[in-house]
Structure 1
């Protein structure tokens, strides 16, 4: 293509562009002229022109099965489903309300006699200023302070006059504080809760037909009373002669569970003869064995333990089982007390705290009735797993002096029913015959609900695995025998003693009200082998640990009977006073055969650190021992430490 031809094509293209621009300007001018002078006849507006040229689906015929028809049908079905669901929900709420699973609530009045639910009361409680609880240095102080702040709740009729009680369910469907278990830990916990939250409503679920009670007198003082009605009234005389009941509080103290939600001033209610079978820690619900479900804000598991049995007795048949008692609760005490009235011989298996206490108690009774009492255990002496060997054997002699025959170093291999008696064959070939057998070989923590509740159980020690604050899950705590806790001084532990139940229950109760305190207050435990011999212990007390001991001559004031007479209290932890730390010059000496271990201090050591202390017939010195364990310092010279316990009191020196 030559240059002339290219030039002519460019001229043509330019001319066509100019022509189109000219036409566009002319149309624009015409359009403006139309709008300025009005539309000529027959002309249409731009909007009308757009509507003619636009296709709308609404103007087109709807074919069969189109999207609009399907949408209308589906929308109709959805409306039907919504209506049906609404009706079903209404019926469900009505049925739940009438059956008591959930009920509507309002302020009680003469026109509207609908009960105030636990949830509404809990809401009121959360808006009430909480009273500050001063942290106690000892269990005794804390329990006493709690007791001062708690009074018997006023009756429901006074709190909410005009309420129709018949409309209320047997138990509230929701509570702020729920306690599973009705033992010592539960008692200590609800007192701590009420001390911190004056209007708290606490629901306690227990599988026994009893309100909370103390267990130590069941193997001690109750066997030494002369009152024939004691097994029924459960009142006993302490070593000082003062009468007391095993129940922590009288029946009148507890509110009716049906009326708990009406107690404006708060209260504690105990549901007896029921067990919790499952706890949903996420939904915060507890399920009872009868199907009842309770919603909670805070929950404490205090299920305690169940006594162990021996396989040879378990497999011996129903006849042997009828003549065997696994000693633990009030029912066991009453049964054994009846047995001693007609039995000529009883065998006690176990040489620990409980077995030795029962051997002394029943042996003492046998002196009067002629009943033969025999104690069998595999250790070399009584409480051999706790005490040093020399002291264990000395204790065995004291138990025998109470009237029991002790067979140490023996294991029961088999049992069978021989006529009306139980024949127990020992590993040494000897056979013991008894009208009745008492098994006291320890406890298994009661963790039956762990699997259903998906709670962790400690593989080594047993019990629910909890942290230093005794918390297993959020808003779920465990205290007492069933808790395997982290001791910030001594590591992970599980303890089976009355004082630990008190201390851990109190701590859990305080933490349930927001304290957030770790376990550091070392609990103690004690045992009385009658009114003349007793000891108190704290920390890791293990007969296999190295020990250093100091002993002194005992006086008439160095007995359980004397300490109860001077303090007026039978539960040893309640006798704790501020100890005098006036030192006295006394040095530890190695025990020798023939020593009369009247009173003394035994230190249990790990790498020069005191990890446990036993105070033998030495009382009201527990604050000193507790401080030594808490400090955890190494000691090269225990002579100075022993002086703190002031074994040689001034009155003894004067008497000599």
Structure 2
């Protein structure tokens, strides 16, 4: 940077630090003056104020990172690679079982560990004012919730780990591990710094897939993936300024995002176009009948759905918009939008483990771990999206849902302390589309399996509110369950059914275990699903007729 620009930047920092306030006699004692600022880069181009602010933030973050890295101890007993849900819960559990432990979390993100699912749901639907800054939303109980698990004060600086007698958890951000050396039990950071460990957790999560033809470099400022907080903040700004956005992908996040963004900005004339090559939404998970429920919920919000549509080409137009050519049923059509969002699922970040010689399942695309979440190196564990572990009932399991990250993180943390326990939990997940459609899944919900659906007859007062349960089968044994607008302890019942591993002959009778006939208040239902409250005990046995259909045979099961 030229000497001239350094003086300009230095002057701006000084103005921001001491020259921006004026003492007055008004009720607001301090008032910030808006000072027009102009600076020029070395190439002569004008730098806008926002760019200057970004530059200063970037330089500050770089200096802070260097300072923190220099404070790192040479050895930390527990090192956790990743700053997501799995690492956070592993850290909590390590501290619970080993109260004087020293834990180091290494995160590639700038944010402290946070709850990821609200990025496609609650922050859009129930976000507080300036949600793109605060990352807060109003929960079903009416209380304000922050997606971050802890405030910054929870985490010790790395240099303080050895100063505290009873240890603690330290977090370094914007830092990547470039190498794991299992022989010498040390990791190398992206600045060359090495840290030795006793136990190591790999919880590197996943990275978004970018399918053809969206990954062209010239589309970089018009095509974005959707995965983290910075993506939410970017898309929030884009959605508030745009008239049309194309969301590509058939993941749960894609469907939720289409619904949520349309709900938030549809009144501002924003048009959301949801494109995917499959027949119906979330096809990898849902049977056709439930997939149609999702399609209807999204379409009712005003989202334009283009199913069975394959993108052929993407071009940036002279007016700044983007043209996408789609092929559907042998015919081509064009869609012109302001921006494109890719939510086509994630692939586990296994390269670090592979380079270290840790066994990886190339078919699943995940690190192989046993039922204790140990990898092929006994002192290295894996948790979250990156691991495929041995489930005693289902076999090798790979899940990319939030609860799975939480549970595997807890178990890995416990086992790293020597309090060894085998994995036995069947993880669950949820997808919410407003008040009309709440989906809760547990176990292996793979639509390629045989499925049997049992649904209650439509409620005369709320005919659009469908209620039922879908069973996913292997050799007539239930390995997964999907609940549609069924709340309360249904997921716990589902876990028990899966664990029992009995061969099922009467699915209608099995469906009686679930509260699919009892009408519930929407607000109560949300409270139960979010906070785990017990469901109402009374059941409405009068409406005991069910419609059940098998996906494989497409026949109706006799009503009871």
Match of 1:513 in 2: 417
- Alpha carbons 1:417, 1:423 under 8 Å: kept: yes
Match of residue 106 from structure 1: none
Q: Deviations over 1:160-204 (max 9, x none)?
A: xxxxxx999511110111100010000111111111111111100
RMSD (CA atoms): 2.3
Task: Go from structure 1 to structure 2 and tell me whether the alpha carbon gap of 1:298 and 1:652 turns closer, same or farther (over 3 Å shift).
Answer: same
Residue of structure 1 in register with 2:154 after alignment = 253
1:436 aligned to 336, 339, 344, which one?
339
2:348 is aligned with 1:445: yes
Between the aligned partners of 2:191 and 2:69, the Cα distance in structure 1 is: 18
Q: Aligned equivalents of 1:179 and 1:531: distance in 2? A: 38
Determine the C-alpha separation between the residues in 1 that align with 2:208 and 2:444: 22
Q: TM-score, normalised by structure 1?
A: 0.66
Q: Distance in 1 between matches of 2:298 and 2:68?
A: 58
Q: C-alpha displacement at 1:515, in angstroms?
A: 2.4
Q: After TM superposition, give the deviation of residue 639 of structure 1 in Å.
A: 2.7
Question: What does residue 286 of structure 1 align with?
Answer: 187
Structure 1 stretch displaced more, 512-521 or 185-194:
512-521
Q: 1:307 to 1:507 in 2, by over 3 A?
A: same
Q: Displacement, 1:554?
A: 7.4
Runs of 5+ in structure 1 lacking a partner?
Answer: 1-165, 559-594
Q: How does 1:260-409 map to 2 (within 5 A)?
A: 260-315=161-216, 317-318=217-218, 320-409=219-308
Q: Which residue of 2 aligns with 1:174?
A: 75
- Listed one character per residue, the Cα deviations across residues 324-381 of structure 1 (whole Å, up to 9, x for unaligned) are 1100000000000000111110000012200000010111123211011000011211
The equivalent of 1:581 in structure 2 is none
Shift in Å, 1:557: 13
Quote the residue 2:470 is aligned against.
Answer: 602
| Structure 1 position 226, deviation (Å) | 5.7
**When you count helix as a share of all residues, which structure comes out higher?**
1
Q: 1:491 aligns with which of 367, 372, 395?
A: 395
1:257 and 1:205 mapped to 2: Cα distance? Answer: 11
The DSSP-based 3-state class of the residue aligned with 1:612 is strand
Which of 345, 349, 358 matches 1:455? 358
Partner of 1:635: 504
8 Å Cα contact 1:382-1:395 kept in structure 2: yes
Report the CA distance between 1:396 and its aligned residue: 0.3
Which residue does the alignment assign to 1:187?
88
Where 2:503 maps in the other structure, the secondary structure is coil
Where does residue 451 of structure 2 map in the other structure?
A: 547
The corresponding residue for 2:326 is 426
Partner of residue 612, structure 1: 480
The 8 Å contact of residues 351 and 379 in structure 1, kept in 2 or not, is answered as yes
Q: CA deviation at 1:530?
A: 2.5
Distance 1:225 1:637, change over 3 A: closer
Partner of 1:410: 309
Q: Comparing both structures, which one devotes a greater share of its residues to strand?
A: 2
CA positional deviation for 1:228 = 3.2
Task: Measure, in 1, the Cα distance between the counterparts of 2:172 and 2:130.
Answer: 26
Do the aligned partners of residues 446 and 434 (structure 1) sit closer, same or farther apart at CA in structure 2, a change above 3 Å counting? Answer: same
> Aligned in 2, Cα 1:600/1:168: closer, same or farther, shift over 3 Å?
closer
CA contact (8 A) 1:551 1:597 kept: no
Distance 2:398 2:119 in 1: 23
SS in structure 2 at match of 1:287: strand
Task: Say whether the 8 Å CA contact 1:281–1:474 is kept in structure 2.
Answer: no
Unaligned runs of 5+ in 2: 1-66, 519-537, 545-560
The aligned runs of 1:204-243 (5 Å cut-off) are 204-225=105-126, 227-243=128-144
Distance across 2 between alignment mates of 1:654 and 1:236:
39
State the partner residue of 2:36.
none
The structure 1 residue matched to 2:442, chosen from 534, 538, 554, is: 538
Judge conservation of contact 2:517–2:543 (CA < 8 Å) in 1. no
More deviation in 330-339 or 615-624? 615-624
Cα distance change, pair 168–458 in 1 and its aligned pair in 2 (3 A): closer
Farther-moved stretch of structure 1 (607-616 vs 516-525): 516-525
Say which SS state the counterpart of residue 486 (structure 1) adopts.
strand
Q: Take 1:186 and 1:557, find their aligned partners in 2: how far apart are those partners? A: 46
Name the CA distance, whole Å, in 2 between partners of 1:273 and 1:504.
24
C-alpha separation between the residues in 2 aligned to 1:289 and 1:169?
13
Quote how far apart the aligned CAs of 1:531 are: 3.8
Judge conservation of contact 2:127–2:135 (CA < 8 Å) in 1: no
Distance 1:336 1:452 in 2: 34
TM-score, L = length of structure 2? 0.77
- Give the C-alpha shift of residue 651 in structure 1: 6.8
- Give the direction of change, closer, same or farther, for the CA distance of 1:399–1:240 in structure 2 (3 Å limit): farther
